């Protein structure tokens, strides 16, 4: 396992939705880089399984069974992380839900749920963790948005709205906290092979199979969760201190 030698001291990371897909790859990668990781996910069993795999591989991780829409639970989890791992210096806001359907059919409950998880969940976690970062005068926030928000996407209006707002939030926080040593960036993934993507494929919501999409992707493959983890690993490091407020697309050239 490589040590996070560029950073002194080693920074503690919180990864929301860290138990599956992209979040799991990020949790695994940051732990492999020598960072203690809190896997924060509403799926307690999956979070425990992720932690077991990370610790088996020699990393340090704890599971926090939390829904990102529950502010009290997030505040308690941040206090728990501080007690058990140390002050969190890295926050990856990755927990999210998708949404497909005609705009005129979106009911208010669905609209609110998508905004609550994807956008307000990010708001809660940032508000809970930034005070810890301010005390250290060091922080790295990476928001996992979506390539669909870069160009728009039909039949995904609630999802795209929530992800576009995450991009705006990223830019605003970068400007507000840049002088305090905190960077804030967003990675909008495009077409990454995760359980979320495969479930959408099964339901016929992708406008073709994953394999058909691969043929239309400039690099001719579907993205891997590790592709996002690689970019994230850079953004949370010491070497990325001059990168903030940026939209770092990882999408095989599907969006330019
Ligand atoms: N897979 C893609 O192609 C793709 C593309 C663009 C954006 N994204 C975004 O990447 C992120 C991860 O997606 P994925 O494909 O890995 O999905 P996934 O379904 O495999 O994993 C999502 C994880 O988030 C957790 N989660 C969901 N709602 C939560 C909540 N309210 N509180 C806490 N945890 C919650 C789930 O339990 C799960 O472990 C999402 O924000 C998604 O919108 C994915």
CB 233 within 8 A of CB 29: yes
Distance 80 CA to ligand 1 centre (A): 23
Whether residue 23 is contained in a domain is answered as yes
Whether residue 4 is contained in a domain is answered as no
The pLDDT value given to residue 8: 52
The pLDDT value given to residue 119: 99
Quick check: 143 pLDDT over 90? yes
Nearest CA to ligand 1 atom 20: 21
Those residues with Cβ within 8 angstroms of residue 175's Cβ, 6 or more apart along the chain or in another chain: 245
Quick check: 3 pLDDT over 60? no
Residue range 231-242: mean pLDDT, rounded: 98
Residue 162: domain span: 12-193+226-240
Whether residue 248 is contained in a domain is answered as no
Distance 10 CA to ligand 1 centre (A): 26
Instruction: Give residue 7's pLDDT band: very low, low, confident or very high (50, 70, 90).
Output: very low
Whether residue 210 is contained in a domain is answered as no
Closest Cα partner for 203 from 101, 88, 129? 101
Instruction: Report the Cα 128 to chain-centroid distance in Å.
Output: 16
Number of domains in the chain: 1
Active site residues: 159
Which CATH number covers residue 87? 3.40.50.720
Whether this prediction's pTM lies above 0.95 is answered by yes
Q: What is the position in ligand 1's atom list of the atom closest to the CA of 195? A: 20
Instruction: Give residue 9's pLDDT band: very low, low, confident or very high (50, 70, 90).
Output: low
């Amino acid at each position: 396992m490589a040590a996070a030698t560029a950073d002194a001291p080693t920074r503690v990371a919180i990864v929301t939705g860290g138990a599956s897909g992209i979040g799991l790859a990020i949790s695994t990668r940051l732990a492999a880089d020598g960072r203690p990781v809190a896997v924060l996910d509403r799926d307690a069993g999956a979070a425990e399984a992720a932690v077991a795999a990370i610790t088996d591989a020699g990393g340090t991780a704890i599971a926090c069974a939390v829904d990102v829409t529950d502010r009290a639970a997030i505040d308690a989890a941040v206090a728990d992380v501080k007690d058990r791992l140390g002050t969190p210096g890295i926050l990856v806001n990755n927990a999210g839900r998708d949404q497909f359907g005609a705009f005129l059919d979106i009911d208010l409950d669905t609209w609110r749920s998508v905004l609550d998880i994807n956008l307000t969940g990010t708001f809660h976690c940032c508000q809970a963790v930034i005070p810890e970062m301010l005390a250290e005068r060091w922080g790295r926030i990476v928001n996992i948005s979506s390539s669909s928000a870069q160009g728009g996407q039909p039949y995904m209006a609630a999802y795209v709205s929530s992800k576009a707002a995450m991009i705006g939030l990223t830019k605003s926080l970068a400007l507000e906290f840049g002088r305090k040593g905190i960077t804030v960036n967003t990675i909008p993934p495009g077409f990454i092979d995760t359980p979320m993507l495969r479930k959408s494929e099964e339901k016929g919501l992708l406008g073709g199979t994953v394999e058909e999409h691969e043929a239309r992707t400039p690099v001719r493959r579907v993205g891997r969760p590790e592709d996002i983890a690689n970019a994230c690993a850079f953004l949370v490091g010491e070497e990325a201190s001059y990168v903030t407020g940026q939209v770092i697309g990882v999408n095989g050239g599907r969006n330019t």
